[in-house]
Structure 1
Amino acid sequence: MSATNANNNASDAQLPPLAALFLIKFDLKVGYTITWKRSVAGLDLDGAVEFKSLPSGLHSIKEDLVYFVHDRYVGLSAFINGPASEEERNAHLVAVGILVPLSRGRLGRSWLHAQKLRELAKQLVHDTTKTEPLEQYWVDNSADRNRIDEGVDSTPSSPIVSRPPPSVLRKNKTYASRNRGLSNITQFHPGHETLSVSHPALSIIKYIDTFGPLVFPLQRAALLRKRILFITTPPVRLSCEFVYDLSILSSIPSSVTGVLPPGSEPLHRLRSLFTVGVHDIPNLQDDAKKHEEAKDSNYFLDGGAWTPGWAACTTDEVLSIKANLYDIIVELPAQLESPAQEKRWPRIKTSTGKEIKATQRDMRRFRILHSELRKTQRHSMEVHRQDDHGGADSDDDSETDDDQVALLSRSRTESESSEDDIYADNLVEAPSWTALAYSGFMWWASAGERDSSAAEEADSDRALLGDLSDFMTASLRGSSDDAMAQTWYQGAGAPHTAIIAYFHRLTAEIFSTLGDLVDAADDEEGDDEEVEGEERSVVVHSEDTSRMGLDVWSETDKAFVKEVLAMYFGRRAEVHGASIECCGIKIC
C-alpha cells in the first residue's frame, strides 16, 4: 500500500483528543524554547516538554519522532533539522509536539497524529512565525477540559492494594478461578485493518531481529518488572518503539490474570516511560525510593498510586553510571536502522555489571521462531511477486531487491552451525558441566539416538509458536489488493498479532503452571498445618520448569522462577534443576 493510502487510513481513524499542541525552536542564545503552545487548562508545559521533545544529540540527524511521558499524558514530537545560514550553525531545529491522555493506551494512540506533525514541522522549519496551521490543527483536534480529565486514568495511577493473608486466600479461592485457554492479544487489537505507517507495532520484526535469542531473557526481566533502560544514539524513534514492543510482549495475558491473587494488578503490565534524559533524574530517583520500599514489602504497597518497573530509552549516557536508577541496562548498537556489514548484537547487563545472556533453550527456541518467520516472509513475497507479475513466475530468486525488506530476509551464506556459533559466543550461556554430562550420558545410553526429552521440548516450543504461514494466508485472503502490495512487515497480513500472541502464550504457560503448583501446595498444606503464619515452600521440579518453557539446566532460570513466585504469589520456592540418575542413583 502506498504511503498516501496508509495516511488516509490513519486520518479516517478517530484521532485522540489533544491535551496540548506546541512548537519548539532551538535558539542560539537561550537554547530550546517553546515559541507557540496551546493546552487544556491546568496543564503546565514550560520547563518540561521542550527537553523531553528534543533528546541530546538530535542536532546530528535530519528528522525523528520522539515519544515521552509528561505527568498523566503521553507526548509525541516530530523533529526536523532544516538548512540555515552559517550564523545559525547551518541548521534550523524545530519540533512540533502534542500531549494526549494516557488513558487511551501506552501511547494514547498518539501515532495517528505523527504524519501531520511531520508535515507541520516541515512547514514551520523555514519560518516559525507562520503558526496559522497550528492554530487550525488545535481547533480541529483539541478537546475541552472535562473530556480530557474524564479520560485520564492511566495504569500508573491505579491503586495498589495489599495482599490478604495466605489463610484467607486459601479459604476464599475465587481468585484462582481461571481460564486455562492460551492467551489472545491483550491491550493490542489491530485486527485485519492496515496499520498506520507510524504504528509502533510495525517494529516488532525489527525488534526480534535486533535482539535474536536475547528477546527471551529480556522478556523475563520485564515480567519481573525490572527497571529497564535502553542506551541508544539518535534517532530515538526505533528505541521508543522497542520500549513499546517490550511492554506489549511482557503484558500478563487476560487468560491467566485469574491465576494471580488480589493485589497483583499493578504487575499486569510494564510501565513505558519512552524517552528520558538528565532532566528526568529527580523523578527516576523518587521512583527508585519507591522501588526499594516495594521490595521490603514484597512488592505490594498499601494504598498509593505506583506500579513497579518500567522501560525507557535515553541518549544521555550519564544515566548509565547512576546504577541506582535502573535494574537492567540494554546497550543498543549504533545506527540500528542502517544495514551493517557485520551483525552487531545488543548487550544486556544488570546494574551491577553482570551480563545477561540467553539460555541454551532460548537459543533453540529462537531457531524455531526465526525459521518460521523466514518461511512466512518467503510465502508473503511469493504472493506479492505473483500479484505484481499477473501470476507469472519470477526468474529473480533474490529476496533482497526491496530495500524495505526486514533484516530477517538476509540470505544465509554460512552454515546453520556457524550461525549458532555466533549466538553462542556473544549471546548465549555456555552449557553447564551437568548439561554436557547429561548429553553425553544420553547419547551413550541411547546408542546415539535422539534424546526423547529434547524432542518433546522442541515439539512443545513449535506448538506454542504455531504455523505463522497459516496466519499469513488467512490474513492475505481477507485483505485488499492494496494491503497485499505492502511489504511483508508493514501489511495487514504481517504476523505482528501472531508474534504477540506467541509471547503471551509463553507467559501464560509460566503463570498457569505456577498457579497450579501454588494451589497444589495450598491443598496439601491445609489451614491447620500453618506454623506461625508461615507457609511451606512451593516445590518446582525440573519437569515443571520444562513445561514453563525454561531451561532445566540454567541457574538463571531457577532464580527467575523463585522471583516470580515471590513477586506475584508471595511464596517461597524450592526449585529443583535437572539431574542425571542411573539405576535410581543420582550421579550429578
Structure 2
Amino acid sequence: MSLLATPPPTPPISALFLIEFDAKAGYTLLWKRAASDSIVLDDVVEYKSLPSGLHEVDEDLVYFVHDAGFAGLSAFVNRRIDDAALRNARMVAVGVLVPLSYGRLGRAWRHTADLQLLARQIADDKSQIHLLEEFWSSHSIPAVETSAAAADIYSHSRLRAVSDGTRIFAPPHRSATSGTCAAGPAPPSAKLEKNHPAHGLTRLLETFGPLVFPLFRAALLRKRILISCHAPVHQANDFVYDLSILSNIPSSLLDILPESAPTQRLRPLFTVGVRDIPLLAADLKPLLANTVDDSGTGWIACTTDSILAIKEDLWDVLVTLPTNYSSPTSNSAASINKPWPTIKGPKGLVIKATQRDLRRYTCLKAALARLATPSQPPSPTLSSAHSILDRPTAAVAPAEVSDMQIAEIVEPVTWTALAYQGFMWWASAGEQRHSDSLDEAAADAALLADLIAPCPVPTIRYRDECPAEAEAPAAAQQGHVEDGNDDEAIEARTELAIVAYFHRLTTQILSVGAQISSSEAPVLDSDSDAGLAYHDDDDDEEEEEEEDTQQLLRAADGDERQAKTIRVGSQVLEAMGLDIWSSVDAEFARAVMRVYFERRAHVETKGVEVCGVRLC
C-alpha cells in the first residue's frame, strides 16, 4: 500500500462470519459465508477470533492467519445486557478472511470500520444479522479468484517478498520496491489510511524504548518471536505487523545476498493460541532436519495464552508486555513510572539494550521530536519533549527516567569501556571522547538524512549523545511543508522516518557484512577455535595431518570458503552501528555472518591495549 491522498478501494473478502460467546455453549459460529468449500471456518475462526481474556474488554480488533493462505480480521464487541441467562453480557465478533496475496495482512484493515459497525449493531440487536448478507453480497470475491489469490502467495519472487514492506510508504510516483523505503519527505497530501497497523510505529517506540533495537536485531535474524500480552490485543497485533515491516530486507540488498539467505520478510502470524501449537511446532522441522544451521524461517506473533510462554521449545525470543501496555499515556508521572516490557531468550536469559542502543534511541527520539515540532527546538533534557506524548500523532518524545529504571533495560557500562574512556579522557584532555561522540552522532544522523534535520552536536551529557537543544539549520527547516502543523502530515512524516531509519540500519549492517564476507580479510581455520584454544606441542603433527584431510574434504564439497573463520574487529562492529564493547552485539555480528553469508566469524570487541598487548 502507498501513502495516498485518496484511499484505494477495500479488497474483496473470501469469507464472512459471526461468532457469539455463550456462557453455556461456549464459542458458537452463528452465521458464515465462504467463497469456496475449501475454506474451513468451523472449529477454526471461533478460537482465532476470540483469544483468551477478551471477555474482560468492551471492544477489540483481532488479526490472525488462517491456513497460510488467508489473513483474518475480526471486530469484537462486549455489550452489557439485562439477561441473567447470558450473565448480563452479549459478546459477538464479526470477521472476514482476505487472501494474503494482497499483502502481509491482506489489507484487511480497510474493512475495520465496517466490521466494527456490524459488530456493534448486532450486539445491540441480534435481529440485525441480515446486515451480514448485504455486506457479503457487496464485498465477496468469486471462488475462482479466491483460489488463484491463495495460490499466488507461494509464487512470489524474492523481489515481491521485499516490496510488501517498503511499498507502505512509497509515494505514488516512486517504485514500490525502493530499497530504502523513500528518499525524501512524504508528499503534503499523503497519509496512511485511518486503520492501518503502521500507525502503531510511534507507540512501538514509546512502549519498548531502547529495547526496540535488540528486538529488531532478533527479527533481522529471523528468530521465532512470541509476544505475551493481555487483552486487548489490537495494539500487540500492530506491534507484530510493525516489527515485521521494520525488519524487512530492502530490495537494494538482493544483489549482495546469497540465494541461501533467510527470507526477506519475517512471517507475521499475529494472534495465536493453544490451538496453534501444532502450527508453531511445525516450524521446528527445518531446525531439526539441519544440524549445521539452526536458522528456521522465523515468525512473530502475539498471544494471551500463558501456556505458550512456558513452552520454550516453541520460540526463540519471548517478549512479555506489561498489563497496561495498550493504555495511552495520560500524564507525565504515569509515563515516567510505567513498567518496561521484558525480553527473554531460552532458559530465561534476559535480553537488554546496549549502551549504544540507548544513545541511538535518544538521538532518534530527539530527531522525531524536532520533526513533530519543527518551529520549536526541543530543550536540552529528555523531559522537555515529554509533552508531545499527549498528542495522538507523536508518541515520539522520551520521558525523563531515572538511572535505576534505565538499568532495568540497558546493559551496564563494561569495566573495559570505563577503563578505556577514562584513560583516553586523561591522555587527550577529553578531546578523544568528544571526537568519538561526534563520529557516532554523524553516523546516526546519516540514517535519517533527507528525512529529518540532522542531529545536533553533543556537548552536554555523554549518556544522551544526541541532546536536542540546538535549533535545526535553516536548510533543514525548508524541508517542512506549510502544513507542518497538520497532525496527519506530521504523523505521516514521522512514520515514514521510522521505517526508513530501520531499513537503512538494515542496509548498513548487511552491506558491511557483505564487504567483509567477500573481502580478503584475515581468516582462521574453523576447527582451530579461532586460534584461541591451547594445543599441546606433542599433538601438533597429528592435528596437522587431520586438518589436511579436513581441508581436502571441504574442497571436494566446495565448502572450503565456509570452512574459514573471518576475523572481525571492533572497527567492523562500529561500521555496522553496533556496540564495540558489548559481547551481545559481537554475538549478533557472528550470527549475521553465519545466517546471511554462511561465514564463520571470530568477532573481537574493543579492548585496552598497551604496546600491542591486550590488557582487557
CA distance in 1, matches of 2:106, 2:293: 31
Q: 1:94 aligns with which of 92, 105, 109?
A: 92
Q: Which position in structure 1 is the counterpart of 2:343?
A: 348
1:112 is matched by which residue type in structure 2?
A: R
Q: 1:331 aligns with which of 320, 336, 350?
A: 320
Relative to structure 1, the CA distance from residue 337 to residue 380 in structure 2 (aligned partners, 3 Å threshold; closer, same or farther) is: farther
Per-residue CA shift, 1:342-375, capped at 9, x if unaligned? 1211100012100000111111111101111222
Per-residue CA shift, 1:11-62, capped at 9, x if unaligned? x522111010111111222111111111121111000101100111111111
Matches within 5 A, 1:119-198: 119-153=117-151, 183-185=179-181, 193-198=190-195
Give the drift of 1:423. Answer: 5.3
Q: Which position in structure 2 is the counterpart of 1:13?
A: 8
CA distance in 2, matches of 1:578, 1:65: 47
CA distance in 2, matches of 1:156, 1:235: 32
1:65 maps to 2:61: yes
Q: Which position in structure 2 is the counterpart of 1:446?
A: 428
Relative to structure 1, the CA distance from residue 326 to residue 380 in structure 2 (aligned partners, 3 Å threshold; closer, same or farther) is: farther
Q: 1:77 aligns with which of 65, 74, 90?
A: 74
Q: Which position in structure 2 is the counterpart of 1:242?
A: 239
Give the drift of 1:153. Answer: 4.6
1:558 maps to 2:541: no
1:465 is matched by which residue type in structure 2?
A: L
Matches within 5 A, 1:316-395: 316-338=305-327, 339=329, 340=334, 342-379=337-374
1:36 maps to 2:26: no
Q: Which position in structure 2 is the counterpart of 1:219?
A: 216
Relative to structure 1, the CA distance from residue 297 to residue 101 in structure 2 (aligned partners, 3 Å threshold; closer, same or farther) is: farther
Identify the structure with bigger relative contact order (alpha carbons < 8 Å, sequence gap 6+).
1
2:8 is matched by which residue type in structure 1?
A: A
Of 150-159 and 219-228, the range deviating more from structure 2: 150-159
Per-residue CA shift, 1:389-436, capped at 9, x if unaligned? xxxxxxxx99469663544457x5x5xxxx362453111111222111
Q: Is the Cα–Cα contact under 8 Å of residues 537 and 574 in structure 1 kept in the other structure?
A: yes
CA distance in 2, matches of 1:125, 1:154: 36
Give the drift of 1:578. Answer: 1.1
Give the drift of 1:268. Answer: 1.1
2:392 is matched by which residue type in structure 1?
A: Q
Q: 1:465 aligns with which of 436, 448, 467?
A: 448
Q: Is the Cα–Cα contact under 8 Å of residues 17 and 148 in structure 1 kept in the other structure?
A: no
Per-residue CA shift, 1:239-274, capped at 9, x if unaligned? 00000011000111111121111132x521100000
* TM-score, with length taken from structure 1: 0.82
Give the drift of 1:484. Answer: 5.6
2:506 is matched by which residue type in structure 1?
A: T
Per-residue CA shift, 1:511-553, capped at 9, x if unaligned? 111111111149999xx99643233112212111100001111
Matched pairs, number: 523
Q: Which runs of 5+ in 1 are unaligned?
A: 1-7, 161-180, 301-306, 383-396
Relative to structure 1, the CA distance from residue 118 to residue 541 in structure 2 (aligned partners, 3 Å threshold; closer, same or farther) is: same
CA distance in 2, matches of 1:445, 1:182: 46
TM-align CA RMSD: 3.1
| Secondary structure in structure 1 of the residue aligned to 2:230 | coil
1:231 maps to 2:228: yes
| Secondary structure in structure 1 of the residue aligned to 2:351 | coil
Q: 2:596 aligns with which of 568, 581, 585?
A: 568
Q: Is the Cα–Cα contact under 8 Å of residues 22 and 28 in structure 2 kept in the other structure?
A: yes
Q: Is the Cα–Cα contact under 8 Å of residues 49 and 74 in structure 2 kept in the other structure?
A: yes
Relative to structure 1, the CA distance from residue 203 to residue 156 in structure 2 (aligned partners, 3 Å threshold; closer, same or farther) is: farther
Give the drift of 1:145. Answer: 1.6
Give the drift of 1:221. Answer: 0.5
Q: Which position in structure 1 is the counterpart of 2:575?
A: 547
Q: Is the Cα–Cα contact under 8 Å of residues 523 and 567 in structure 2 kept in the other structure?
A: no
1:436 maps to 2:395: no
1:220 is matched by which residue type in structure 2?
A: R
Q: Is the Cα–Cα contact under 8 Å of residues 389 and 395 in structure 2 kept in the other structure?
A: no
Give the drift of 1:567. Answer: 1.3
CA distance in 1, matches of 2:71, 2:338: 33
Give the drift of 1:583. Answer: 4.0
2:372 is matched by which residue type in structure 1?
A: Q
2:487 is matched by which residue type in structure 1?
A: Q
1:290 maps to 2:286: yes
* TM-score, with length taken from structure 2: 0.78
Q: Is the Cα–Cα contact under 8 Å of residues 405 and 488 in structure 1 kept in the other structure?
A: no
Give the drift of 1:574. Answer: 1.6
Q: Which runs of 5+ in 2 are unaligned?
A: 159-176, 378-384, 455-475, 525-547, 555-559
1:425 maps to 2:394: no
Q: Which position in structure 2 is the counterpart of 1:169?
A: none
CA distance in 1, matches of 2:264, 2:375: 34
Matches within 5 A, 1:395-406: 399=387, 404=392, 406=394
Relative to structure 1, the CA distance from residue 155 to residue 329 in structure 2 (aligned partners, 3 Å threshold; closer, same or farther) is: farther
CA distance in 2, matches of 1:293, 1:365: 39
| Secondary structure in structure 2 of the residue aligned to 1:308 | coil
Q: Which position in structure 1 is the counterpart of 2:513?
A: 514
Q: Which position in structure 2 is the counterpart of 1:486?
A: 487
Relative to structure 1, the CA distance from residue 55 to residue 157 in structure 2 (aligned partners, 3 Å threshold; closer, same or farther) is: farther
Relative to structure 1, the CA distance from residue 563 to residue 158 in structure 2 (aligned partners, 3 Å threshold; closer, same or farther) is: farther
Q: Which position in structure 2 is the counterpart of 1:532?
A: 553
